[in-house]
A and B are shown apart, each in its own frame.
Chain A
Amino acid sequence: MKKIINDPNLVVQDMLKGMVSANPSAIKQLPETTVIVRSDVPTVNKVGLVSGGGSGHEPAHAGYVGKGMLDAAVAGEVFTSPTPDQVLEGIKAVNGNAGVFLIIKNYTGDVLNFEMAAELAEAEGIKVEQVIVNDDVAVEDSSFTTGRRGIAGTIFVHKIAGAKAEQGAALDEVKSVAEKVVANVRSMGMALTPCTVPAAGKPSFELKENEMEIGIGIHGESGIERKEISTADEIASELVHKILDDGVHGPGDEVAVMINGLGSTPEMELYIINSKVNEILNEKGIHVYKTFVGEYMTALEMAGCSVTLLKLDDELKSLLDSRSEAPAFLV
């Protein structure tokens, strides 16, 4: 294992410290926790947004904390859900008496720990609602999930629910727009190389030099198939068609596109993928309203990418375009 770290057991704490040092006016860390919050929390009479999950997906989720997006991000150990006591600290810190909204990626551990935190918060008199993001069309069940997994599409839920809450919307309105995003967002990914969890010290799986895995998860969980690597155009086509086959996006629709790098894929390659994705969508009569290319939801140093499509209506367009001060998603 070759990594720029001090101690495999301290990577999360060391990283969070560095994130706060980089954005001292926007975010802060709650003492004795792994919770990053907006520096001005709680915002009185605004719904507080909390997300989080295992670490190793940076800039998710702490990079999306900021005015117009999340109020708190709770970091677990690498690829491990944070515990309910930590999530509860986040909920309490962002409670501005308008309720707190949880955005949870669909992994068994995340769902259990966040739901438990929600119950503990409700026992303390805080109103909590949640949405579970399951945008990955690759597999129905995985080693980390019952049902579909939550991946890069989660960022659109952060952005749009965050914008809605910033406008002063009530808890049920924030929940409703978040559910609309979840209903209209689909993603799929692929990988060329595995990644190594620092505490484990070795890769969680292996791929041969000429091999790629289609539909892989952001923790290296199995996807649909392993096969010989093909061209960028073929990869883009396979990912987009699998998403379109799900039947959410069709001719005449307007979409936001996200081409997400998994950690060690150069932007050059992401743009090559985007070129073909854009071409296919044009051919299908699907209008691209906005495109995001970069690293949004990574899997440590995995090489690979994911494609996300979000169908937009006027409300979602305006919320997507509204101001965000989150360091990793400035609008």
Chain B
Amino acid sequence: MELRVEDAIQWFTKVNEKIQENKDYLTSLDQVIGDSDHGINMARGFQEVENKLSTQEYQEVADVLKEVAMTLISKVGGASGPLFGTAFLKFSQAVKGINPVDYTSFTSGIEEALQGVMHRGKATTGEKTMIDVWAPVVHSFQEAHDFEDNPFLKVAKQAMEDTKDIMATKGRAAYFKGKSIGYIDPGAASTYLIFEALEEVIKGSK
């Protein structure tokens, strides 16, 4: 498959549904190792994304991604807004002018997204952040050759679960250090939801 404008819109519509459904769950994860606002902030941001995407017209996938980015940047706040915002802004820049977005371009897009998040958060893998889900997913895209044969969701789920065993050294959770072990990182959990929504869009288009 290739990602068209309507697929991209559907992707983030599904992300919003999942974030709203899991709002309390994400907040509960953040209560343990953060400041208990992750679900609330993400739900506010993605609801606004949904409001925009359902009323505006878009020429290409890059425009959808840019809208998502700028909305998250202005509506989510905290650290999550700039981090997810940067991810989709870089993604958008990488696929600008390519419509629909083929598998190779999509892979370049999420590579750029990952680089953007790492640069913005001054973080790398193994620090109990959303990067611990983004990075293996990007790797899975690099290894596979098309959307359909890519086990990225399985990879994402395992990666999210694995954040339980990591001790936080970055972000607010770092303050809780040892206490952070045994809990999934909230940013990793919401990143998983983003890829779960992508998988549904890919399956639905078959």
Q: Pick from B73, B83, B120, B172: contact of A83, CB below 8 A.
A: B73
Instruction: Chain B residues near A109: list those with CB within 8 A.
Output: 77-79
Give complex CA distance A146, B86 in Å.
20
CB distance from A60 to the nearest CB of B (A): 19
Give complex CA distance A116, B174 in Å.
22
B136 contacts chain A at the CB level, 8 A cutoff: no
Q: Are B82 and A84 in contact (CB under 8 A)?
A: yes
Nearest A residue (CB) for B74:
A85
B187 contacts chain A at the CB level, 8 A cutoff: no
Q: Are B73 and A116 in contact (CB under 8 A)?
A: yes
With A80-B77, A109-B77 as known contacts, state yes or no: A146 contacts B82, CB within 8 Å. Answer: no
Give complex CA distance A143, B77 in Å.
16
Q: Are B174 and A112 in contact (CB under 8 A)?
A: no
Q: Are A76 and B77 in contact (CB under 8 A)?
A: yes
Q: What class of interface size applies to chain A in its complex with B?
A: 10 to 19
Give complex CA distance A146, B121 in Å.
11
Q: Pick from A83, A112, A141: contact of B75, CB below 8 A.
A: A83
Q: Are A146 and B73 in contact (CB under 8 A)?
A: no
Q: Are A112 and B82 in contact (CB under 8 A)?
A: yes
Instruction: Chain A residues near B157: list those with CB within 8 A.
Output: none
Instruction: Chain B residues near A85: list those with CB within 8 A.
Output: 70, 73-74
CB pairs A–B below 8 angstroms (25 shown): A80-B77, A80-B78, A81-B77, A83-B74, A83-B75, A83-B76, A84-B81, A84-B82, A84-B85, A85-B70, A86-B74, A108-B79, A108-B171, A108-B172, A112-B79, A113-B77, A113-B82, A116-B82, A141-B175, A142-B175, A143-B172, A143-B175, A144-B35, A144-B172, A146-B171
Residues on B close to A: CB < 8 A?
Answer: 35, 70, 73-79, 81-83, 85-86, 120-121, 170-172, 174-176
